[in-house]
Structure 1
């Protein structure tokens, strides 16, 4: 047997393995996806039957809890664990939430199709605002987010932070198509949440400490920045007129096809910081970027930023943006209130009454 094994051509085995192994992996993914989809569709339909049964009369609605209790017992007896009263209640809620609109739920020939797993929808159902829920559903689907990533993005108030960085029309667009990256402004969040780096908000730390903490959590940092970011270098040196300069972080955005330079500031933003970033951006545009690439973007992550200072220091067409960062998750209720105030302000400017 050993001799036969030695005579087998290694290249032939390797070639077959490289063809078959990905096929098995893909097949397992397809099976998992099919199982997830079947589970979600089943629970949506269960919720529909429960709601329709309760709507047939006040008497049925009155003893709804008792119906679910006995129904749960029968289902567990027939189909095993997993059909508790709590689960049936969630099925009912799922139908009530998702039967009111068709985003992520497409009715084709009487069948509903969903894009995420049941665990994802358990998170999404807790979001009361329809626009916000639709946004997270689109982003979770397009970004292939795990449940943990969905929880993190919702907990960090991604929707509110993006909304506060955009005008009214773009806020409305978030709930229709998600965060589409087409121009530099689309990658800006305010604030940027860096709670994952592990630095204490009330502790003293340097820019070097912050940079090292970000590099140690690079994957989380790139996900926080948004779509399409690739890491190139830290403390990237370039020389000009016999002087050396260092860019804290050099990134590349494949969707915008441009370099993104990031400078970290642990204090409030100054006009000198803006001027320095303008010089970095100019250098990359003139000596590094290729003809097919878009203009370089500069981002200053600072503890404190002043929009007035940015507007006064930089020309209107400058590709430089300042964004505050937080070392803790923002207050979601406060951000929600700010978004509502922000949209209401636009409505008032348009001369329409705000309800």
Structure 2
């Protein structure tokens, strides 16, 4: 409740927007995308944006697009649905996002490349590139996004801006594959999306488990310090 009170005040959500964020389990999805120490900060400070990982949530919930989870659709149809619901998509992405372009073309070595969606985050002062994937994420997808990010860092961003962030929005991802493919300092993230509201009870149980583990570790740490 404390988290939603802070966010509602800071972002001036309407009643409908607040209801949607609660229904989509925003707190739980943010909490499960962070380490245990940062989970406690969410309730006390709301969502603070200071580093690239602060804008990531898993999963990203796109129930407002109107696409049925079991329906067959293409990446272009998913992109068109997002463009037609851009206001809701920006709300789902979170704080500080500004939309710049779709299918942004750049040319390198006489070849044309297209980034699905280009955003700018004014809080982080950097470009955020989003590539849409309707199938399971592959290492080729990750390599392609790495190339997009490298191009923007070298030829688009200005000196005062922070490094470009790449987000692969995919139906299914393998965290081990992502970790193995990307270097440790890569500014690239894979986020799964779903076309339905999440199971609130399941997410709440996971967060509760994390908090209890955090509190137990804190108690042990204090006991060790007193010894």
TM-score tier after normalising by the smaller chain length = over 0.9
> How far did 1:337 drift?
1.1
What do residues 148-171 of structure 1 show as CA deviations (whole Å, max 9, x unaligned)? Answer: 110000000000000001111211
Of residues 208, 212, 221, the one that matches 2:80 is 212
Of residues 141, 150, 154, the one that matches 2:22 is 154
Normalised TM-score (structure 1): 0.61
1:144 and 1:166 map into 2 onto residues whose CA distance is: 24
Normalised TM-score (structure 2): 0.94
1:322 and 1:314 map into 2 onto residues whose CA distance is: 11
2:219 and 2:143 map into 1 onto residues whose CA distance is: 39
> How far did 1:306 drift?
1.2
1:319 and 2:175 correspond: no
Listed as ranges, the matches of 1:1-355 within 5 Å are 133-346=1-214, 352=220
Aligned with 1:294: secondary structure?
coil
Determine which structure has greater relative contact order: mean sequence separation of CA pairs < 8 Å that are 6+ residues apart, divided by chain length: 2
2:130/2:167 contact within 8 Å kept: yes
Gap regions ≥5 residues in structure 2: 222-227
RMSD: 1.4
The structure with the greater share of residues assigned to helix is 1
Gap regions ≥5 residues in structure 1: 1-132
1:317/1:349 CA distance change after superposition, 3 Å: farther
Aligned with 1:266: secondary structure?
strand
What do residues 123-144 of structure 1 show as CA deviations (whole Å, max 9, x unaligned)? Answer: xxxxxxxxxx000000000000
User: Bigger radius of gyration, 1 or 2?
Assistant: 1
Count residues with an aligned counterpart: 221
> How far did 1:352 drift?
3.9
> How far did 1:261 drift?
0.1
Aligned with 2:142: secondary structure?
helix
> How far did 1:341 drift?
2.6
1:347/1:275 CA distance change after superposition, 3 Å: farther
The structure with the greater share of residues assigned to strand is 2
